[in-house]
């Protein structure tokens, strides 16, 4: 196992306060918000770990706003996150994968807006595979004396003040950035404390793992087909064929990519012209983390995902994210091979 680059025990709380002290003029609100999220993460982690024995697993019978089956843990996680975000009266609005509209919090004068995927990878719950929580934090543009506007919730990813995820895996870890590097914390469940386990994480410049749902191969662009064929070719000098890994929980697939390098792709396709993943609470925070770690996150045109101007809180975006060299190479393939004409697209697929 890789040795940690942290030489003494530092709790998440300590670390956040240290970081705050380094920022002149910081009010402590963002620090408080991160601590609140840390608390929700511990509660969700506890529930995830005992899911099998409390019969919380499985579909609760209802559907979320995207018509997908909602699992009980999705609802639990959504409630816990909302509760945590209302604790300190600093969040005025929340956008959640589980709620159709913008959630206006009681503290309308709060300066922060949070976008979240309370439980990512929910199809993996029933089979005991890693799942996660993703969050993205913005500051509002409107005057806190007024009611926040919808536009406050529709800012580009480059405007994020913090982004992160929690991974409920063989251990529970929290990874976040506030724009000064990426740090990782591991939960010690016996004392309920997150400890810094890796500071200033850097993604390898190049990796040998590609991660994409290959079942969708027939719906891909010619460029992506060519790139994946390249990944499978035999070439000792470039360590090919690459290894293929796909968990089906974005948080878990991206976390592996962050630590080991390589590329994670959820592409645009004939079936899903904008991909599947949501810009505001999946693609943006993940892009922020990976870019802060020295990697790249782009759309099919080689544009930074965080530069996409949002028009809808639940909009989707294609994503090609990971080690710099792998992403550059993939985008070059996409550009080199022209696009097919899209077939007739069903209205339902465009949502």
Using CB under 6 A, pick the residue from 32, 158, 213, 219 that binds ligand AHG.
213
Among 84, 104, 87, smallest CA distance to 44 is for 84
Whichever of 97 and 152 has its CB closer to Mn ion, that residue is 97
The stretch among 99-107, 173-181, 219-227, 244-252 that binds ligand AHG (CB under 6 A) is 244-252
Burial of 30 by CB count in 10 Å (0-12 exposed, 13-18 middle, 19+ buried)?
buried
Q: Compute the least distance from the CB of residue 287 to Mn ion, in Å.
A: 14
Distance CA 31, CA 6 (A): 21
249 binds ligand AHG (CB under 6 A): yes
Distance CA 259, CA 257 (A): 6
Decide if 104 contacts 85 (C-beta within 8 A): no
Question: Within 276-295, which residues bind ligand AHG (CB under 6 A)?
Answer: 276
The crossing angle, in degrees rounded to 10, of helices 222-232 and 324-336 is 130
SS3 46: helix
Whichever of 15 and 227 has its CB closer to ligand AHG, that residue is 227
Site mask for ligand AHG (CB under 6 A), range 85-124, x = bound = ------------x-------------------x--xxx--
Token digits of residue 74: 């999705």
Strands 69-71 and 59-63: antiparallel
76 binds, among Mn ion, ligand AHG, none (CB under 5 to 8 A by kind): none
211 binds ligand AHG (CB under 6 A): no
Among 123, 130, 132, 126, smallest CA distance to 51 is for 126
Token digits of residue 275: 């991909």
Element holding 252 (H helix, E strand):
helix 250-260
Whichever of 99 and 332 has its CB closer to Mn ion, that residue is 99
Q: Compute the least distance from the CB of residue 141 to Mn ion, in Å.
A: 27
Structural Rg of the chain based on CA atoms:
20
Question: Within 171-190, which residues bind ligand AHG (CB under 6 A)?
Answer: none
**What is the binding site for Mn ion (CB under 5 A)?**
97, 117, 119-120
206 binds, among ligand AHG, Mn ion, none (CB under 5 to 8 A by kind): none
268 binds ligand AHG (CB under 6 A): no
Q: Compute the least distance from the CB of residue 123 to ligand AHG, in Å.
A: 6
Using CB under 6 A, pick the residue from 48, 209, 250, 265 that binds ligand AHG.
250
Query: 237: which residues sit within 8 A by CB, 6+ positions away?
Result: none
Binding site for ligand AHG (CB under 6 A): 97, 117, 120-122, 213, 248-250, 266, 276
């Amino acid at each position: 196992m890789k040795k940690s680059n942290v030489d003494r025990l530092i709790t998440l709380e300590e670390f956040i306060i240290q970081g705050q002290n380094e920022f002149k003029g910081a009010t402590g609100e963002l620090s408080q918000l991160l601590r609140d999220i840390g608390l929700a993460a511990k509660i969700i982690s506890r529930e995830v770990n005992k899911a099998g024995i409390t019969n919380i697993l499985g579909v609760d019978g209802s559907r979320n706003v995207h018509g997908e089956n909602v699992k009980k843990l999705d609802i639990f996680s959504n409630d816990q996150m909302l509760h945590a975000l209302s604790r300190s009266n600093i969040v005025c609005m929340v956008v959640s994968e589980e709620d159709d509209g913008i959630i206006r919090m009681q503290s309308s004068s709060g300066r922060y807006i949070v976008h979240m995927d309370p439980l990512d990878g929910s199809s993996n719950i029933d089979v005991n595979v890693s799942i996660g929580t993703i969050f993205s934090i913005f500051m509002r543009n409107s005057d806190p004396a007024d009611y926040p506007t919808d536009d406050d919730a529709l800012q580009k990813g480059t405007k994020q003040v913090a982004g992160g995820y929690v991974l409920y895996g063989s251990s529970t870890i929290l990874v976040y950035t506030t724009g000064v590097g990426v740090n990782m914390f591991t939960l010690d469940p016996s004392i309920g404390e997150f400890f810094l386990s890796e500071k200033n994480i850097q993604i390898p410049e190049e990796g040998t793992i590609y991660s994409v749902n290959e079942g969708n191969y027939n719906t891909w662009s010619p460029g992506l087909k060519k790139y994946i064929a390249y990944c499978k070719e035999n070439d000792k000098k470039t360590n090919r064929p690459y290894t293929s890994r796909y968990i089906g929980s974005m948080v878990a697939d991206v976390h592996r990519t962050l630590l080991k390098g390589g590329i994670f792709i959820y592409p645009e396709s004939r079936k899903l012209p904008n991909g599947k993943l949501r810009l505001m609470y999946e693609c943006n925070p993940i892009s922020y983390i990976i870019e802060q770690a020295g990697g790249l996150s782009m759309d099919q045109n080689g544009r930074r995902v965080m530069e996409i101007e949002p028009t809808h809180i639940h909009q989707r975006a294609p994503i090609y994210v990971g080690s710099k060299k792998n992403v550059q190479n993939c985008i070059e393939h996409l550009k080199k091979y022209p696009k097919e004409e899209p077939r007739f697209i069903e209205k339902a697929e465009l949502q």
